[in-house]
C-alpha cells in the first residue's frame, strides 16, 4: 500500500469495505479478533484465514505483530511518550521505506 494514502485511509476507516483483496480482508478480520478477543480465537478462525490463502507462518507473524504493537502502545502510553506530528510520521515513513531500520553507520 506504499504510495497509496487513500487506500490506507480506506483500510483504517473500514477494512471490510476497503479496496483490498479478499485475502487481505480475511487476515485483517483475523487480526481484529486477535486484538479484541484473543481468548476467543478458535480453530474455525484459523481455518477461515487459511482458506483465504494464509499459511500457519503468516498467521503466526500476524499474531506476533499484533501483540507487539499492543505492547508498544501500552508501554508508550504508560511512560508518557508524546505523539509525533503528522509531518514527523510522514518523514519517518519515508526514511523507513528508503533506508530500512538499520542505521547506515551500523551496516
Q: Quick one: CA dihedral 74, 68, 5, 33, positive or negative?
A: negative
Cell triple for 62:
500476524
pLDDT tens digits, residue range 15-63? Answer: 999 999 999 999 999 999 999 999 999 999 999 999 999 999 999 999 9
* Domain 5-106 is found in CATH 1.10.10.10: no
Mean pLDDT of the chain: 91
In the chain, where the domains are located: 5-106
Amino acid at each position: 500500500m506504499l504510495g497509496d494514502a487513500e487506500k490506507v485511509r480506506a483500510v483504517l476507516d473500514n477494512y471490510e469495505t476497503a479496496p483490498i483483496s479478499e485475502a487481505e480482508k480475511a487476515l485483517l478480520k483475523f487480526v481484529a479478533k486477535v486484538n479484541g478477543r484473543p481468548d476467543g480465537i478458535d480453530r474455525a478462525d484459523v481455518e477461515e484465514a487459511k482458506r483465504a490463502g494464509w499459511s500457519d507462518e503468516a498467521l503466526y507473524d500476524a499474531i506476533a505483530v499484533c501483540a507487539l504493537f499492543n505492547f508498544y502502545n501500552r508501554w508508550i502510553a504508560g511512560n508518557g511518550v508524546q505523539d509525533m506530528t503528522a509531518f514527523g510520521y510522514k518523514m519517518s515513513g519515508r526514511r523507513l521505506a528508503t533506508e530500512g531500520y538499520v542505521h547506515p553507520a551500523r551496516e
